[in-house]
């Protein structure tokens, strides 16, 4: 990691002026927290990426409008348990009621509140419960790492652990800005809960257009490169709130400071993306595919993603089975053009690195050594396309025995 980026504690509360809270509102789950609040003392500019699904949840529509219009934002209210998707006009009213309730508590306008939901599609949220939850959240808000962690836990659905991170970044003039983030979402082992929600807070003073541009570039190489089950959620959301509380010289043009901010946001996003990729229930390994010397960036991304999304490849990783044909097969249907007879492929893990394929055919490698390499908790498959100079990395997880018994043991 670059010397001007340092990992810190505090999650979404690490940046100045941000508060967090969690509450048990009984939206659907009992005996656990199911609502979270991100609150900023100062107005925030926002940038966001949302689901590409035509069927968009009500909160996604609500947030897209506010982020698009550029209304200053003060708070984000999140609930788990019910997704508020396929809920029609009633669903939009819930978003409005929630925003009205929260904004009234701090004396702002309803459009200064973003909302996000994750859970079952097609169910309506009880307005009384979510409004009561807003009161609990506002009372409980605190600018502490404990509050941040509790918020990260409240938005979990089938995640096996909370996902948060924060860094401090030193700009060229020596001033410090902070970035904090939390996400929820686990791998393809939970297709019914695959919604990804992510929230980034920063006290950096940065131009809105640049923030939007940087966010898109970062998401394309982080969250858009992790394996999912193909079931693009109706609720996927990744939003950045910037409140300028750091008082840094505003980043308003391309240059070293913008690059540093992008690197810090990339670090935070890739960290969380890998956390999500590795969190499929039953997953025993983080599975990374690094494609290099590809004809172009688009091809590199398609190829890397095709491998980590492949059930065959995931099962092979779980089975510690060097069934390299599966990797070649996945590259072959990725949609990217390449010469199969030029592909070299390597396995790498804590146990070492081994060349498995040369010019599209298996090398005379040692099966035992390959199995040893594939038995580590994090395995990388490197693919040299010998076609150009672009590269890309994608992340996924293996498929556990419970998930696909037969495939992993296929060759034995």
List residues with catalytic annotation: 195
Cβ distance to a copy of itself smaller for residue 254 or 361? 361
| Residue 312 beta carbon to a copy of itself: minimum distance, rounded to whole angstroms | 5
Closest CA to 197 of 117, 81, 141: 117
Residue 104 neighbours by CB under 8 Å, 6+ apart: none
Which span (3-11, 31-39, 199-207, 334-342) binds a copy of itself, by CB under 8 A? 334-342
Cβ distance to a copy of itself smaller for residue 268 or 345? 345
Kindly list the distances between the CA atom of residue 409 and the CA atoms of 46, 72, 85, 318, 320, in Å, as whole numbers in the listed order: 48, 55, 39, 9, 9
Specify the residue for token string 């858009």: 224
Q: Where are the beta strands (DSSP E) in 16-135?
A: 18-23, 35-50, 73-82, 113-120
Closest CA to 96 of 109, 107, 110: 110
Q: What's the Rg (C-alpha) of the chain?
A: 22
| Residue 330 beta carbon to a copy of itself: minimum distance, rounded to whole angstroms | 7
Q: What one-character-per-residue DSSP string does 309-337 give?
A: H-HHHHHHHHTT---THHHHHHHHTSS--
Q: Under DSSP, is residue 377 helix (H, G, I), strand (E, B) or coil?
A: coil
Please identify which residue in 96, 104, 135, 158 interacts with a copy of itself, judged by CB under 8 A: 158
Cβ distance to a copy of itself smaller for residue 25 or 357? 357
Cβ distance to a copy of itself smaller for residue 176 or 344? 344
* Site track for a copy of itself across 125-154, x = CB under 8 A: ------------------------------
| Residue 161 beta carbon to a copy of itself: minimum distance, rounded to whole angstroms | 16
Which residues, listed in sequence order, are joined to residue 382 by a DSSP beta bridge?
Answer: 290, 346
| Residue 345 beta carbon to a copy of itself: minimum distance, rounded to whole angstroms | 10
**How many positions of this chain bind a copy of itself (CB under 8 A)?**
59
> In the window 249-308, what residues touch a copy of itself (CB under 8 A)?
281
| Residue 192 beta carbon to a copy of itself: minimum distance, rounded to whole angstroms | 5
Cβ distance to a copy of itself smaller for residue 19 or 324? 324
Cβ distance to a copy of itself smaller for residue 181 or 189? 189
Please identify which residue in 3, 31, 107, 333 interacts with a copy of itself, judged by CB under 8 A: 333
DSSP secondary structure code for residue 201 in this structure: E
Please identify which residue in 131, 136, 328, 351 interacts with a copy of itself, judged by CB under 8 A: 328
Please identify which residue in 107, 173, 402, 412 interacts with a copy of itself, judged by CB under 8 A: 402
Considering the rule CB under 8 A, would residue 361 count as an interface residue with a copy of itself? yes
CB 343 within 8 A of CB 386: yes
Cβ distance to a copy of itself smaller for residue 247 or 325? 325
Q: What one-character-per-residue DSSP string does 94-114 give?
A: HHHHHHHHHHHHHT--GGGEE
User: How many C-beta neighbours within 10 Å does residue 1 have?
Assistant: 10
Considering the rule CB under 8 A, would residue 364 count as an interface residue with a copy of itself? no
Considering the rule CB under 8 A, would residue 117 count as an interface residue with a copy of itself? no
Please identify which residue in 54, 364, 368, 412 interacts with a copy of itself, judged by CB under 8 A: 54
Which span (33-41, 106-114, 231-239, 377-385) binds a copy of itself, by CB under 8 A? 231-239
Considering the rule CB under 8 A, would residue 192 count as an interface residue with a copy of itself? yes
What are the structure tokens assigned to 156, written together?
A: 């979990």
Specify the residue for token string 């396309």: 385
User: How many C-beta neighbours within 10 Å does residue 359 have?
Assistant: 12
CB 391 within 8 A of CB 300: yes
Question: How many Å apart are CA 262 and CA 271, to the nearest integer?
Answer: 14
CB 227 within 8 A of CB 187: yes
Give CA 303 to chain center in angstroms.
20
Which span (11-19, 34-42, 252-260, 318-326) binds a copy of itself, by CB under 8 A? 318-326
Which residues contact a copy of itself (rule: CB under 8 A)?
Answer: 52-56, 83, 85-88, 120-122, 158, 188-193, 229-234, 281, 309-312, 315, 323-326, 328-333, 337-338, 340-341, 357, 359-362, 402-407, 410-411
């Amino acid at each position: 990691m670059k010397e001007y980026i340092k990992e810190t504690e505090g999650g979404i509360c690490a940046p100045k002026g941000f508060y967090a809270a969690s509450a048990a509102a009984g939206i659907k789950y009992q005996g656990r927290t199911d609502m979270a609040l991100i609150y900023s003392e100062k107005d925030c500019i926002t940038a966001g990426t949302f689901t590409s699904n035509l069927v968009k949840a009500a909160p996604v529509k609500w947030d897209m409008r506010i982020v698009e219009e550029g209304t200053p934002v003060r708070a984000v209210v999140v609930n788990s348990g019910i997704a508020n998707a396929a809920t029609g006009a009633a669903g939009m009213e819930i978003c409005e009621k929630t925003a009205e309730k929260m904004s009234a508590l701090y004396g702002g306008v309803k459009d200064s509140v973003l909302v996000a939901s994750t859970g079952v599609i097609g169910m309506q949220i009880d307005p009384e419960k979510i409004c009561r939850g807003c009161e609990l959240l506002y009372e409980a808000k605190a600018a502490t790492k404990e509050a941040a962690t509790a918020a990260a836990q409240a938005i979990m659905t089938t995640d096996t652990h909370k996902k948060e991170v924060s860094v401090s970044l030193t700009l060229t003039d020596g001033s410090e800005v902070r970035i904090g983030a939390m996400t929820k979402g686990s791998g393809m082992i939970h297709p019914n809960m695959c919604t990804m929600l992510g929230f980034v807070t920063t006290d950096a003073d940065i131009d809105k257009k640049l923030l939007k541009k940087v966010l898109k570039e970062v998401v394309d190489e982080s969250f858009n490169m992790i394996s999912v089950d193909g079931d693009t959620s109706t609720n996927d959301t990744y939003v950045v709130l910037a409140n300028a509380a750091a008082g840094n010289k505003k980043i308003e043009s391309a240059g070293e400071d913008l690059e540093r901010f992008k690197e810090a946001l990339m670090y935070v996003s890739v960290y969380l993306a890998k956390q999500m990729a590795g969190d499929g229930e039953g997953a025993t390994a983080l599975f990374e595919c690094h494609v290099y010397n590809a004809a172009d960036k688009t091809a590199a991304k398609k190829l890397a993603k095709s491998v980590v999304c492949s059930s065959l490849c995931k099962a092979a990783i779980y089975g510690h089975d060097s069934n390299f044909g599966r990797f070649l097969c996945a590259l072959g249907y990725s949609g990217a053009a390449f010469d199969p007879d030029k592909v070299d492929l390597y396995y790498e893990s804590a146990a070492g690195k081994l060349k498995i394929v040369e010019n599209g055919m298996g090398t005379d490698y040692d099966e035992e050594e390959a199995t040893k390499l594939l038995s580590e908790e994090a395995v990388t498959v490197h693919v040299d396309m010998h076609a150009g100079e672009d590269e890309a990395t994608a992340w996924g997880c293996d498929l556990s025995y419970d998930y696909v018994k037969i495939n992993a043991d296929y060759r034995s």
